[in-house]
């Protein structure tokens, strides 16, 4: 309860701003519900558990949700942002305390999932030169999330009010078939980018989530031999739902 006896809801979250050496940031573009993607562009993260410190929440996200990348993460500075606004869900004034852990992926770290190009067909013209991205799936428990490494400029554009429509159009053009919803956590699916206009390849996940490639770019081909021996990557980060 805040001053003046007005009820104020408090939400504390911790997110990871993880970037590769090419400057691209890891984001979640949406999650699968009933066979389709619900678009939402956000950084991986979590609400804080009771009595949990932000630094511990970030570590939990790394170990439980981003474990395929955890060994390559190099943490940097931490920033805290406080914002007050009315919650659309609860209709209460809410104070959001957001802790951002900035981090980079080690340059010599071999990514456990194969990047797949994303085309530019459904994006507005002012976004198209930022649109080529590395798309992949991650699973946590029974949920499947669509994630990507994207340019910072595109991340900011998709999170803006005007970017919501573009995000929906972009994500809806990506087809994922045969999602395995079994509780074992396997990710049997096929990802097809229908917007690809420059020869990018299709990415297939079989059984444990290990990818096989039908068409590869030069960068993709360089990773194939090492990726075939990577551990099961059937986990994905949680989307924060306010």
What is the mean pLDDT of each successive set of 10 residues along the chain, which is 242 residues long? 72 97 92 78 95 96 89 97 90 94 95 51 58 72 80 89 83 62 40 39 35 36 34 38 37
- The answer to whether the predicted template modeling score (pTM) of the entire model surpasses 0.85 is no
Whole-number pLDDT of residue 37: 74
Question: Which CATH architecture is the domain 3-227 placed in?
Answer: Alpha-Beta Complex (3.90)
Whole-number pLDDT of residue 124: 61
Whole-number pLDDT of residue 163: 86
Q: Do residues 239 and 28 make contact, with C-beta atoms less than 8 angstroms apart?
A: yes
Q: In 3D, which of 106, 116, 68, 145 has the Cα closest to residue 223?
A: 116
Whole-number pLDDT of residue 107: 92
Whole-number pLDDT of residue 110: 87
The angle, 0 to 180 degrees and rounded to 10, between the axes of the packed helices 163-172 and 152-159 is 110
Residues 6 or more apart from 73 whose CB is under 8 A from it?
A: 18, 62, 66, 103, 104, 105, 106
Whole-number pLDDT of residue 116: 46
Whole-number pLDDT of residue 125: 62
User: Domains of the chain: which residue ranges?
Assistant: 3-227
């Amino acid at each position: 309860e805040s001053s003046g006896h007005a009820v104020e809801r408090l939400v504390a979250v911790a997110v990871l701003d993880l970037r590769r050496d090419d400057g691209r940031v890891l984001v979640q573009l949406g999650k699968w519900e009933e066979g389709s993607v619900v678009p939402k562009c956000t950084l991986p993260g979590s609400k804080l558990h009771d009595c949990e410190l932000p630094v511990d929440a970030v570590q939990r996200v790394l170990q439980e949700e981003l474990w395929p990348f955890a060994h390559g993460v190099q943490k940097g500075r931490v920033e805290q942002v406080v914002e007050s606004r009315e919650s659309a869900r609860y209709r209460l004034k809410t104070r959001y305390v957001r802790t951002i852990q900035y981090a980079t992926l080690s340059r010599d770290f071999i990514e456990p999932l194969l990047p797949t190009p994303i085309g530019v067909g459904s994006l507005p013209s002012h976004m198209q030169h930022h649109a080529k991205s590395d798309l992949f799936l991650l699973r946590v428990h029974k949920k499947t999330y669509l994630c990507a490494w994207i340019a910072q400029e595109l991340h900011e554009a998709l999170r803006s009010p005007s970017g919501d429509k573009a995000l929906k159009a972009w994500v809806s053009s990506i087809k994922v078939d045969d999602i395995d919803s079994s509780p074992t956590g396997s990710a049997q699916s096929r990802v097809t980018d229908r917007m690809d206009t420059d020869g990018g390849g299709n990415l297939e996940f079989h059984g444990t989530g290990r990818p096989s490639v039908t068409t590869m770019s030069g960068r993709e081909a360089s990773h194939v031999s090492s990726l075939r021996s990577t551990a099961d990557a059937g986990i994905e980060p949680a989307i924060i739902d306010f």
